[in-house]
């Protein structure tokens, strides 16, 4: 226990390596063994991450579970990990997302199974690592490392336009990251360290601070993605296999929001405040703009992809309002969005596996042929439009209420997204599930066991967070307060 607790973060990050090693030395024909190994590996990893939650101390202000070991001494870079209230919830979210991906891909990935599960496990390592890293080199490595398996997942197991989409995805996000890398190198040259806890307390001339902020912000804004650098997302989502979309929606785009809260804002507070108006406006544009695109979208996956842009607009709205209630809401909404949109992508994947069509007009009356599936989809739809009692409401309510206290105009415009959101989601639901049964979908296989489990897990979380969010909100209380206090 002692060894585990002292290095808990390392355990969670690196535990999937065991699975990777076993799979590497397994014959590729032995597919079910490979699947089971990766499933069990991730289940254990998820349990470890829940163990992390249980051992978190709510009252402490700084980082917990800190590990600092010598690594690349000659550039003064350490293997430095730690979590606080901002990052901790993303770790179980990452492992859970990978778990869902394994469940939902169980039967739908048929080619190169071994490589697929290796890529998933590798993604999990990189995702968790990114949320734990407190050394900028370690952070940057994990941050970029995610791109490799994601590039492969989209490029190999994706849809017809997968090559275009995956290259676009890679170059787009890589383009942003380069600016961040320049920023990191500048900081190193100036202060001789990559240690986040030291760098966060530095003061800069305003111009330098602004440039540094923008360098980091471009990387994060592309990841979120904020308007107008969002166009990689619909393509990547649409062409990715279901698991790829779930990881994209669940974790990858959360890295952007997390990056703002962890790095860009606390390290460069003056610049963050100076540019906050701009980011608020961009957020509101994203909410409305992407929502309007959703209204006229006729591809299931593209619609949900654009809805992600709209929902992440709420998140960045909450972040840049610099209000503690809104900030809490923004972090929670990232978790919510990961659960709900991930679940929606799984739902699309489930019918895509059966029909191989993403066109909304291909469907109709699905509630008649797949009633249980329809019920799950309804729950996710309601969570997505923020109905009270579901998690989506808590996030949106806290974000809008908190932002209202600091900036009323933005909320008036942003809240129209709630109307548009209801319109496009319910219209989607109507066209897919209601009306006369479309002969295309008259005979549908019922949900399989793995699919059912993959849908039940997010459903439970949706109602748990919706009805009793305080457990989750309490994690953030001290850290968010601390963060915003340093800002003033």
Partner 1 sequence: MVEKHFEIVTNFDIYVFLIPFLPLVASIITLLFGKRYFRDKSHILPILALFFSFLLSIKVLIEVIHGKIYHFDVYTWMFAYDLKVGLGFLVDPLSAAMMTMVTCVAFLIHVYSVGYMGGDPGYYRFFSYISLFVFFMLMLVLSNNLAQLYLGWEGVGLCSYFLIGFWYQKKSASDAGKKAFIVNRVGDFGFALGIFMAFYFLGTLYYNEIFPKLPEIANKYIGVLGYEVHVPFLIAFLLFCGAMGKSAQFPLHVWLPDAMEGPTPVSALIHAATMVTAGVFMVCRLHPLFELSDAMMFIVAIIGAFTCFMSATIAPTQFDIKRVIAYSTLSQLGYMFMACGVGAFIAGMFHLLTHAYFKALLFLGAGSIIHALHHAPDPNDIRIMGGLKKYMPLTFWTFFIASLSISGIPGFAGFFSKDEILAQAFFSKYPWGKFIWFVGWVVASMTAFYTFRIFFKAFYGEFRGKEVIHGYPHESPRVMTIPLIFLAIGSVFAGWIGIPKILGGSNHIEQFLAPILGHPRIVHEVSHSTEYLLMLLSIGAGLFGIFLAWLVYVKKPSLETFFSKNFRPVYVFLFRKWYFDELYHYTIVKPTLWIARKVIRGVADNTIIEGIVNGSARLVNITGTGLRILHTGIINHYSTFILIGILVYLLVYLYLK
Nearest to partner 1 of 110, 161 (CB atom)? 161
SS3 percent helix, strand, coil of the chain, rounded to 5, is: 75, 5, 20
Q: Report the C-alpha gap between 124 and 88 in whole angstroms.
A: 15
Nearest to partner 1 of 198, 412 (CB atom)? 412
Nearest to partner 1 of 11, 429 (CB atom)? 429
Nearest to partner 1 of 142, 433 (CB atom)? 433
We find the least distance from the C-beta atom of residue 377 to partner 1, in angstroms, to be: 13
- Is the peptide bond between 225 and the residue preceding it cis, with omega within 30 degrees of 0? yes
Nearest to partner 1 of 71, 397 (CB atom)? 397
Q: Report the C-alpha gap between 286 and 227 in whole angstroms.
A: 5
Nearest to partner 1 of 76, 435 (CB atom)? 435
Q: Do 477 and 58 meet the contact criterion of CB atoms below 8 Å apart?
A: yes
We find the least distance from the C-beta atom of residue 444 to partner 1, in angstroms, to be: 16
We find the least distance from the C-beta atom of residue 79 to partner 1, in angstroms, to be: 35
Q: Do 475 and 89 meet the contact criterion of CB atoms below 8 Å apart?
A: yes
Tell me phi and psi for residue 82, to 5 degrees: 175, 155
Closest by CA to 332, choosing from 344, 318, 347, 346, is 318
Nearest to partner 1 of 67, 299 (CB atom)? 299
We find the least distance from the C-beta atom of residue 245 to partner 1, in angstroms, to be: 20
We find the least distance from the C-beta atom of residue 423 to partner 1, in angstroms, to be: 5
Q: Do 383 and 452 meet the contact criterion of CB atoms below 8 Å apart?
A: no
We find the least distance from the C-beta atom of residue 451 to partner 1, in angstroms, to be: 18
Place of tokens 């992508």: 345
We find the least distance from the C-beta atom of residue 161 to partner 1, in angstroms, to be: 14
Nearest to partner 1 of 136, 331 (CB atom)? 331
Binding site for partner 1 (CB under 8 A): 168, 171-172, 228, 231, 289, 292-293, 295-297, 324-325, 328-329, 365, 367-368, 371, 382, 387-389, 393-394, 397-398, 400-402, 404-405, 408, 411-412, 415-416, 418-419, 422-423, 426-427, 430, 433-437, 467-470, 473-474, 477, 481
Q: Which two tokens stand for residue 151?
A: 């590039």
We find the least distance from the C-beta atom of residue 34 to partner 1, in angstroms, to be: 35
Nearest to partner 1 of 21, 405 (CB atom)? 405
Tell me phi and psi for residue 357, to 5 degrees: -135, 140
Q: Report the C-alpha gap between 113 and 119 in whole angstroms.
A: 10
We find the least distance from the C-beta atom of residue 370 to partner 1, in angstroms, to be: 13
Give DSSP secondary structure letters for 95-113.
HHHHHHHHHHHTTT--SSH
Is residue 203 helix, strand or coil? Answer: coil
We find the least distance from the C-beta atom of residue 448 to partner 1, in angstroms, to be: 19
Nearest to partner 1 of 53, 422 (CB atom)? 422
Q: How many CB atoms lie within 10 A of CB 474?
A: 13
Nearest to partner 1 of 197, 478 (CB atom)? 478
Q: Which secondary-structure segment (H or E) carries 68?
A: strand 64-72
Q: Which secondary-structure segment (H or E) carries 15?
A: helix 8-24
Nearest to partner 1 of 9, 304 (CB atom)? 304
Q: Report the C-alpha gap between 376 and 372 in whole angstroms.
A: 6
Q: Rounded to the nearest 10 degrees, what angle do helices 113-132 and 8-24 cross at?
A: 170
Per the DSSP assignment, residues forming a β-bridge with 67 are 81
We find the least distance from the C-beta atom of residue 301 to partner 1, in angstroms, to be: 16
Give Cβ neighbours of residue 102 (< 8 Å, ≥ 6 apart): 35, 38, 39, 42, 117, 120, 243
We find the least distance from the C-beta atom of residue 252 to partner 1, in angstroms, to be: 19
We find the least distance from the C-beta atom of residue 430 to partner 1, in angstroms, to be: 5
Q: Do 250 and 335 meet the contact criterion of CB atoms below 8 Å apart?
A: no
Place of tokens 């005979």: 443
Place of tokens 């654009």: 306
Tell me phi and psi for residue 414, to 5 degrees: -60, -35
Nearest to partner 1 of 373, 404 (CB atom)? 404
Closest by CA to 379, choosing from 433, 458, 467, is 458
Distances (CA, A) of 236 to 263, 288, 298: 26, 21, 17
Q: Report the C-alpha gap between 329 and 345 in whole angstroms.
A: 23
């Amino acid at each position: 226990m002692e060894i585990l607790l002292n290095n808990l973060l390392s355990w969670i990050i690196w535990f999937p390596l065991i699975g990777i090693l076993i799979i590497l030395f397994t014959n590729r024909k032995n597919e079910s063994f490979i699947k089971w190994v990766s499933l069990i590996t991730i289940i254990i990893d998820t349990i470890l991450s829940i163990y992390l939650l249980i051992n978190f101390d709510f009252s402490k202000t700084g980082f917990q579970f800190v590990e600092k070991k010598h690594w690349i001494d000659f550039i003064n870079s350490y293997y430095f990990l730690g979590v606080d209230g901002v990052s901790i919830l993303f770790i179980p979210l990452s492992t859970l997302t990978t778990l869902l991906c394994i469940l939902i891909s169980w039967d739908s990935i048929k080619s190169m199974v071994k490589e697929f599960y290796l890529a998933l496990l590798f993604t999990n390592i990189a995702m968790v690592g990114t949320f734990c890293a407190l050394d900028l080199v370690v952070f940057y490595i994990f941050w970029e490392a995610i791109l490799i398996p994601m590039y492969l997942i989209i490029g190999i197991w994706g849809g017809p336009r997968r090559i275009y989409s995956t290259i676009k995805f890679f170059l787009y996000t890589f383009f942003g990251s380069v600016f961040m890398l320049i920023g990191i190198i500048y900081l190193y040259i100036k202060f001789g360290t990559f240690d986040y806890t030291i760098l966060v307390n530095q003061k800069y001339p305003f111009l330098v601070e602004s440039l540094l902020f923008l360098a980091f912000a471009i990387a994060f804004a592309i990841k979120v993605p904020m308007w107008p650098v969002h166009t990689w997302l619909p393509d990547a989502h649409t062409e990715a296999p279901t698991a790829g979309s779930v990881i994209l929606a669940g974790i990858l785009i959360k890295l952007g929001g997390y990056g703002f809260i962890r790095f860009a804002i606390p390290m460069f507070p003056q610049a963050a405040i100076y540019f906050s108006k701009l980011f608020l406006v961009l957020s509101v544009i994203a909410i409305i703009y992407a929502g309007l695109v959703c209204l006229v979208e006729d591809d299931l996956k593209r619609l949900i992809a654009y809805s992600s842009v709209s929902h992440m607009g709420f998140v960045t709205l909450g972040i840049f309002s610099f209000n503690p209630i809104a900030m809490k809401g923004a972090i929670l909404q990232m978790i919510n969005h990961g659960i709900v949109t991930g679940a929606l992508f799984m739902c699309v994947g489930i019918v895509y596996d059966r029909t191989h069509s993403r066109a909304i007009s291909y469907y109709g009356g699905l509630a008649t042929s797949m009633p249980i599936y329809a019920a799950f989809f309804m729950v996710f739809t309601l969570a997505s439009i923020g109905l009270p009692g579901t998690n989506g409401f808590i996030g949106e309510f806290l974000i809008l209420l908190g932002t209202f206290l600091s900036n009323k105009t933005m909320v008036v415009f942003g809240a129209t997204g709630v109307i548009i959101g209801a319109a496009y989601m319910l219209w989607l639901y109507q066209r897919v599930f209601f009306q006369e049964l479309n002969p295309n979908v008259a005979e549908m296989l019922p949900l399989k066991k793995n699919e059912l489990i993959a849908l039940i897990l997010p459903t439970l979380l949706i109602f748990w967070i919706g009805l009793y969010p305080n457990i989750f909100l309490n994690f953030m209380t001290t850290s968010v307060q601390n963060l915003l206090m340093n800002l003033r």
